[in-house]
Amino acid sequence: MAYAALLSLTQTLEQILGSRNEIRIFHDEKQIRSFHENLCFLLSFLEDFSPRNTESIKCLEARIRDATYEAEDITELHMSNPILSDSACQGVITCFWEIISALQIMMPVFRNSERRMEFKKHNFKEIYDGLQKIIKEIDSISEEVEKMKAMKDIEGFSADGLTRINDPLSGIEGIEEVVNANDRNDVLDLQPRNSLNATSSKSASTNKKFMVGFEDDLLQIKEELVGQSSRLKFISIVGMGGIGKTTLARNIYNDSSIEYHFYIRAWITVSQEYHVQELLEHLLKSMGDFTEEMIREETDELKTRVYQRLKGYRYLIVMDDLWDDKILDEFRRIFPDDDNGSRVILTSRLSSVTVNVDSSACIHHLGFLSPKQSWSLLCQKAFGNECCPPEIEETGWRIAEKCRGLPLALVVIGGVLYKAEKTRANWEYVAENVKSAVTGNDDDFMEILSWSYDHLPHRLRACFLYMGVFPEDYVIHVSHLIRLWVAEGFLKPNTHKSLEEVAKEYLEELIDRNLIVVRDQNYIGKIKTCSIHDMMRELCMRKAQEEKFLYVANQEFDISSEVVKNQRHLSIHPNGQNAVIYDSTIRSLLYLTDSPLPNSLCFQLLRVLEAGNINLCDFPIEIVKLVNLRYIALSYSGKFEIPASISRLCNLQTLIVFRASYAERLFLPLELLKITRLRHLLFNEAAFLCSDGPQNVNLQTLSGVIDFKLTQEALRTIPNLRTLGISYHCETQTELSFYCLENLVHLRQLESFKCNVISRENVHLPQNLALPSNLKKLTLSGCRISMHNMFLVGNLPNLEVLKLKEVDLESNAWKTEGEFSRLKFLHVEATQFKIWEAEAAHFPSLQCLRLKNCFSLKCIPPEIGEIPTLQQIFLYRCSTSVVKSANSILEEQEDGGNYDLEVHVLSNYYGNIPFPAYYYHKERKFIKELTEHLRHMSLSEEASDLFVRELKGN
């Protein structure tokens, strides 16, 4: 966690030193700026230095982490001083050292180098000396790093210490001419030869390993290996550690038909720490062409030898366990493409490594095993050729299910069960302790998973370990996760991107590395929810505790205990209740349970307070004293009031307050917008009277407010808003024009707007409605929409998602005009909607159409089926005629050879579950193919139709 600690401290120092217009010149400022430069130097070093899992590097990172943690505790203590906090937030405190000297009037704490002393009073000299000690430690570390970098330069190695700096491709030119001079007339007459895995103790040419699942991938890859394409082809197998990539590749490699098809086969295991010279030697060994004198040859000479050996032959090379693109850059030009069907198989945990190989490369993403496949693999490992006794079969299924489809976990637990006595009591015990049985009985298991963490860039490590704060099987909303990452300070600012955009890139990279699983995406490809496999979460928790980063409490704990108080983040799960509370340096307190908050919130350096699962009766007034807070999530019942003094939380970025259904309406203080660093305000129903005032340029989200009047003065205070969600409670005599919706056009950065009208009768949207051109997502609910409004919406140039919920359309008809040029998702929910006229050209990018409660609609325009991008039609409680028109569109598309379109139907008459038309398209395709097959068998048309009717049960 050295990188995350450095990143956080450098941002804290920049905030303090930049908190005034002019920095006062004084004798210590030069030293503090030098300290900041040293921190930035170490930060840059960790960014450039590839992760190395050696004791010396671990020790160095631990020193950086501990010193940085201690320095950050001291520098942030000024914000917990009630005397200084208000002035510090406004830039009145003009000097870092004035802040330090002012600490002597407080009762803060700072920890010694072991971070185990309780907080106590310190005079200025003690605090000054403590910080001086830390500065000297950072100086010492910086000197060591300088020496390390110098040593690497002397040895001629790059920063990762793995590959030589000289041009990896030098010496390759001219190889083809040399090879062409060789006589290869007898190549086709030679028999294929076997080859060995020269870099692993396990031979690639040993017998096939037992494989469960991935049979479809195996068949597809074999077809790609021997298929029609004669050009050199790369085939990638990608997935999480332990998912079975190597096993699948080995089964393919040792298949007799594959062995016969290729003249040369070779297998090399690359792994995280590789040397190009050694890999080339292993490659030559596996082809049987390596001699002792080659040990003395240079890298370029070995490359030439490999190229010459492969030139003119049909070969299969397996490069197992790739971790970066560099090795592919090294090897691509030594793999000749002789238009003879040669192939290269790559396996990796990183999707990006294989995606960039070749635009035409075939990529196979391995998912988790199904419950049935999991049970089959567990039985094979636990019983061998024997059968499972009936009395323990049910327990066995539970054990298999708890492995969450990860083959490596099933293999390990199967080995445990194989050695244990086959009694119900033993298996029940294992079923209740699957995680500990897997991770505690096989050190190799956690080591294999740990490779993924050890190879992570330093900037991603804190984000990954933070996933451990969530309980098992927790579905994590991406927007929630991103706001937490931003608040924790895990992200390096980018002048061209918002922190939220940087966070999305980090998340995508962790997904690309198969460390995080995508659970749900919307119809424009945006990730909505994600999760982490239980075993990978176990890795997070272990590594996080080792790094003094995170403690997860799922039982009673004492926050003053050694194991807890050294952690920076504390996550409390069900059954986790703290017995003792004292002033602590914990940065995050996440209550993912409904257990009550502590009696006193005295975590002076707290940044994150997640208490959204706890129904509070009153606002915890102690919160306004925690001026380091950046993130607050609360929920309440009854009457709840946010005090105006919340504006003292000058670092606050996110405020989330949700009310129970029976609770009173929340009124927000105007002082909220005085918090200049505020980025997100989220409520489910809150009144907010925004008046003219200073601009809050950082606010991006304002969601869940009611009756918000969009005056020009109000919008000038929130000019950079990206997401806005409003509910309007309209009486019969009230018109929406009162709320100035025409001023929305002034929110030029707005990307998402949700407007929900609550009234007895649908109220007209104003004719002068004006929407900003940057809008990507629009939701209109409970209102009456004119054709003029629909025309305006249709001409929004960037609109991708349109949801019309419980609306009335003018004349109950929609004659589509304008071009929804980028619209990908359309939802229409209108009970009185009768007639819809549209052409394919109106929706050139539409991917999904969803109709709900359209009881009166006669049909879907048949032209909708002609949209080339259309993939899905969802119908919820729609008329029979609409269902028929959807199926007609489907049949017409399939008759034209398009089998990609899907029609899904849900109906109250079928208990809100898919009725047979859910997979109608697949059934129809099967029936059509079967009918053609029967006729090829010389059956009469009458006989074949009778057979098909019997099959369908008609």
Mean pLDDT by 10 residues, the chain (954 residues): 88 75 46 82 80 72 86 73 47 43 38 38 56 80 79 46 34 35 30 32 43 82 86 90 89 91 90 80 80 76 88 92 82 88 90 67 86 88 86 89 87 83 86 78 72 86 93 91 95 90 94 88 84 88 87 69 74 69 76 76 86 88 90 90 92 93 85 92 88 84 92 91 92 75 93 91 86 95 91 93 93 88 94 92 93 93 92 91 92 85 72 36 49 50 52 43
What are the tokens at 220? 């597809």
Q: H or E stretch including 315?
A: strand 315-322
**Contact, 653 vs 630, CB < 8 A?**
yes
pLDDT at residue 477 in the model: 94
Length, in residues, of the chain: 954
Determine the pLDDT at residue 342: 92
**pLDDT at res. 944:** 53
Cα(801)–Cα(776) distance, integer angstroms: 6
Q: Which residue has the tokens 């390096």?
A: 492
Helix, strand, or coil (residue 20): coil
Structure tokens at 707: 């009756």
Q: At what angle do helices 407-419 and 390-402 cross, to 10 degrees?
A: 140
Is the Cβ–Cβ distance between 224 and 235 less than 8 Å? Answer: yes
**654: nearest Cα among 607, 588, 584, 604:** 607
Scan for tokens 């450039």, then name that residue: 48
CA distance 453 to 694: 45
Instruction: Residue 826: name the closest of 885, 867, 783, 770 by CA.
Output: 867
Q: Which two tokens stand for residue 194?
A: 């076997």
SS (H, E, C) 362-412: EEEECCCCCHHHHHHHHHHHHHCCCCCCHHHHHHHHHHHHHCCCCHHHHHH
Cα dihedral value 48, 50, 54, 57, nearest 10: 10
Q: What is the dihedral of CA 497, 501, 507, 509, to 10 degrees?
A: -40
Give the C-alpha separation, 396 to 776, whole Å.
49
State which H helix or E strand residue 495 sits in.
Answer: none
**Tokens for 126?**
């003690």
Classify residue 698 by burial, with Cβ atoms within 10 Å: 0-12, 13-18, 19+.
middle
pLDDT at 894: 86
CB 728 within 8 A of CB 758: yes
Cβ(628)–Cβ(76) below 8 Å: yes
Indicate the burial class of 27 (C-beta count within 10 angstroms; 0-12, 13-18, 19 or more): exposed
Q: 584: which 2 tokens?
A: 């602590």
Other beta carbons within 10 angstroms of residue 293's beta carbon come to 7
Q: How far apart are CA 122 and CA 78, in angstroms?
A: 13
Helix, strand, or coil here: 717? coil
b/e sequence 552-580, b meaning 16+ C-beta within 10 Å: bbeeebebeeeebbbbbbbbbbeebebee
What's the distance, CA 157 to chain centroid?
Answer: 33
Q: What is the pLDDT of residue 181?
A: 35
Exposed/middle/buried for residue 310 (C-beta within 10 Å: 0-12, 13-18, 19+):
buried
Q: Enumerate the β-bridge partners of residue 667.
A: 687
What is the reported pLDDT for 61? 85
pLDDT reported for residue 333? 85
pLDDT of residue 415: 82
Cα–Cα dist 176/421, whole Å: 63
**Distance of alpha carbon 391 from alpha carbon 167, whole angstroms:** 65
pLDDT score at 249: 92
The phi-psi region of residue 638 (left if phi > 0; otherwise alpha if psi is between -120 and 50; otherwise beta) is left
Q: What's the number of CA atoms in the CB half-sphere (13 Å) around residue 454?
A: 17
